[in-house]
Amino acid sequence: MKVVRVLLSMLALLVATSASAQEDARAMIQKALDSLPNTTMTAKIEMSSSRGWSRSIDIYGKRINDAMASYIEVTGPQDVKDTRFLFFERINSPDEQHMYIPMVRRAIQIADETRKQAFLGSDFYISDLVAPELDAYDYAFVGDDELLGRKCRLIEAKPKRPDSDVYSKTIGCLDTTDWMVLRTQLFDKKGQLLKVMTVKKLEKIDNIWTPMDQEMANVQDKTTSTITIKDIHYNVELPDDIFTRARLLR
């Protein structure tokens, strides 16, 4: 009986340690989300692809009530010019994503299936461009790594509702000094590595660490897309009416 009690005690300790580790991993992801810039910003970016195309994009961001609002407008080339997006990322209520399609001159609210589609034909999905819902996932530490000279923890996130998620799991490489995710491995529904999103260059602007170059590599299709920030400003004056459907439809 003593052996049984010892084994049960060891099992209880293992379960408790596992639960504690999961909470620690979740707390780190929470800290990373809390560390995202919470100020107004404007940026001009270039999105390019190994397929041979590029897009010029303007981005505006502002905290409005309980949401982080983002307005995105494609300024070139002509075939995608005037495509617009309006995102509202909320803490305690569902997110919203809207898209204006210039070809048909109408705006639509983006549904779950659309979030799984390529963003402007790139290797990024629309879902890759918004912050995840924290409690929709279970978290675990799966190792350590180093990227851009920074020591990182590897945190695996598995969706609690796998059927409704784009990926079967992700593994984020989290810098625990400045709380930035420097790389994310994204796995398909069969558990195979599908894509890797990597921060290639960081720069401190207005005391905010900013990913100036990010690459999304589709390891299955052997294609890559890159987002490069050409110009960015924080703490600027932005009117609320930028972040409205009227602006989207103008």
Q: In this prediction, what percent of the chain has a pLDDT beyond 90? A: 60
Yes or no: say if 207 and 188 are a contact pair by the CB < 8 Å rule. Answer: no
In a domain, 26, yes or no: no
Q: Taking the model in full, what pTM does it have?
A: 0.85
Joined tokens for residue 62: 């502002």
Joined tokens for residue 228: 């490069």
Per-residue confidence (pLDDT) for residue 150, from 0 to 100: 95
**Residue among 229, 230, 223 nearest 53 (CA):** 223
In a domain, 7, yes or no: no
- pLDDT greater than 80 at residue 9: no
Cα–Cα distances in Å, from 158 out to 88, 161, 247? 24, 9, 37
Joined tokens for residue 175: 């810098």
Q: Report CA 29 to chain centroid distance, whole Å.
A: 12
CA dihedral sign, ordered 92, 29, 206, 56: negative
In a domain, 9, yes or no: no
For residue 188, what is the domain's CATH number? 2.50.20.10
Q: Which domain holds residue 51?
A: 33-249
What residues are paired with 77 via a beta bridge? none
Write out pLDDT tens, residues 239-250. Answer: 999 999 889 888
Question: Domain tally for the chain?
Answer: 1
